Amino acid sequence: MSVGSEIPSAIDLVAVRHAVDEVLREFVADRVRSAAGPELPPALAAFDEYLAGGKRLRPLLCYCGWYAAGGAATSRSILRVAAALELFHTFALIHDDLIDQADSRRGRPTLHRGLDAYHRARGDVPHPDRVGTGAAILLGDLALVWSDELLYASGMTERQLTSVRGLLDLMRNELMYGQYLDLLGTGVPTADLDAALTIARYKSGKYTVERPLQIGARLAGAEQPLLDMFSAFGVPIGEAFQLRDDVLGLFGDPAVTGKSQLDDIRDGKRTVLLAIALDRADGGQRDRLTRLIGDPAVDGAGAAEVRRVVVDTGALATVEAMIDERLGRGLAVLDDAAIPPSAVRALRSVAHAATVRSA
């Protein structure tokens, strides 16, 4: 965890983001070229577009973890590992959209809907919706497999790769478990705050912030104390990220979030925001919430009603306070952290971007 003197004094997050995007572009272009036949490229083009819109939170955090642990700022290898985490995330999103039957993501049709529309327009298959779904299952699978390939072709040594196996396994299992809990809870609105927080913790708390930081740090040779520091920072920031996601799901501007304001309500997602609202609701408010949450036909007026109850019960203010508390708790960990000041600044910046965002 020693910080060598050759390390630049600052992390340029914008440059890291661009470099990661460049790795992803090259990788997918290479796959298009080497696809064993002409059938795959249209699907890969859709995949490429889908990949274009992300915030790259996990790659940035992976890079910050690496840098904070003394990794060389100019390493190509860590950029490839960071890009591999983004491919893993892309896999997770593609399958999540299928599970949720979501129509849009990042302001565009989800991959399965996009491929459905592509084949529908060409009229080249009898069941475009089935092909859209099947292709998205396979492209998600490919993204997972490719994430592995990019990781192993990153240029990290065998020893470095072996050192992060355990963290990668944890990250993958935690995400799947969070997704599974989310799936089982969907459509069953509940005032059970603990259950909603557990889902938030697994789905995002660990997966989005803690693990990418730790993976980057471990690759640079970090020992347990630094990994623990990243847990203490990452878990609250990751939870705050998920809580912000819940708030944006209900109150965010769809033109900015790229997602419908109706999805969480229609699907009856077990979010912390709705759990608190249900817990605090009086009789009339509870009736309205239980009628609207999980209603497949819910419309804009219904969503406005849900928002009103969420505001009137104080659930929104409570969740905003929870976000603030977690953000403060995470940031406080950085005050005493034995990492370069530039890493502290970058982590503060990413923490704010993850929790005080509008999309």
Give the C-alpha separation, 303 to 299, whole Å: 6
242 binds a copy of itself (CB under 8 A): no
Question: Which residues contact residue 168 at a Cβ distance below 8 angstroms, ignoring those fewer than 6 apart?
Answer: 151, 215
98 binds a copy of itself (CB under 8 A): yes
74 binds a copy of itself (CB under 8 A): no
Handedness of CA 235, 238, 240, 243 (dihedral sign): negative
Give the C-alpha separation, 289 to 282, whole Å: 10
Measured from the CB atom, is 35 or 321 closer to a copy of itself? 35
Q: Could you say which of 55, 108, 172, 357 contacts a copy of itself (CB under 8 A)?
A: 172
Q: Could you say which of 138, 304, 321, 338 contacts a copy of itself (CB under 8 A)?
A: 138
Q: Could you say which of 294, 320, 348, 353 contacts a copy of itself (CB under 8 A)?
A: 294
Cβ burial, residue 13 (10 Å; 0-12/13-18/19+): middle
Encoded tokens for 182: 């989310």
326 binds a copy of itself (CB under 8 A): no
The minimum distance between CB 138 and a copy of itself, in angstroms, equals 5
Give the C-alpha separation, 116 to 136, whole Å: 10
User: Contact region for a copy of itself (CB under 8 A) — 68-76, 118-126, 216-224, 318-326?
Assistant: 118-126
Q: Distances from the Cα of 238 to the Cαs of 195, 234, 235, 243, 269, in angstroms?
A: 16, 6, 5, 9, 18
287 binds a copy of itself (CB under 8 A): no
The minimum distance between CB 263 and a copy of itself, in angstroms, equals 14
With beta carbons less than 8 A apart as the criterion, state whether 178 and 215 touch.
no
Question: Which residues contact residue 143 at a Cβ distance below 8 angstroms, ignoring those fewer than 6 apart?
Answer: 47, 87, 88, 90, 91, 94
Report the amino acid identity of residue 27.
F
Q: Could you say which of 268, 302, 330, 340 contacts a copy of itself (CB under 8 A)?
A: 268
Closest CA to 76 of 26, 10, 23: 23
User: Contact region for a copy of itself (CB under 8 A) — 45-53, 56-64, 176-184, 225-233?
Assistant: 176-184
Question: Which residues contact residue 248 at a Cβ distance below 8 angstroms, ignoring those fewer than 6 apart?
Answer: 257, 259, 357, 358, 359
Q: What does the per-residue mask of binding to a copy of itself show for 177-216, with x meaning CB under 8 A?
A: x-xxx-xx-xxx---------x---x--------------
Measured from the CB atom, is 63 or 118 closer to a copy of itself? 118
335 binds a copy of itself (CB under 8 A): no
Measured from the CB atom, is 199 or 247 closer to a copy of itself? 199
Query: Phi, psi (5° rounding) for residue 104?
Result: -135, 155
Closest CA to 272 of 198, 179, 209, 210: 198
Measured from the CB atom, is 136 or 227 closer to a copy of itself? 136
297 binds a copy of itself (CB under 8 A): no
Instruction: Give the alpha-carbon dihedral of 63, 65, 69, 72, to 10 degrees.
Output: 0
Cα 176 → chain centroid: 13
Q: Could you say which of 22, 26, 30, 169 contacts a copy of itself (CB under 8 A)?
A: 169
Measured from the CB atom, is 70 or 128 closer to a copy of itself? 128
DSSP 321-343: HHHHHHHHHHHHHHHT--S-HHH
Q: Could you say which of 25, 152, 312, 344 contacts a copy of itself (CB under 8 A)?
A: 152
121 binds a copy of itself (CB under 8 A): no
The binding site for a copy of itself (CB under 8 A) comprises: 35-37, 39-40, 43, 91, 95, 98-99, 101, 124-127, 130-131, 133-135, 137-138, 140-142, 144-145, 148-149, 152, 158-159, 162, 165, 169, 172-174, 176-177, 179-181, 183-184, 186-188, 198, 202, 268, 294
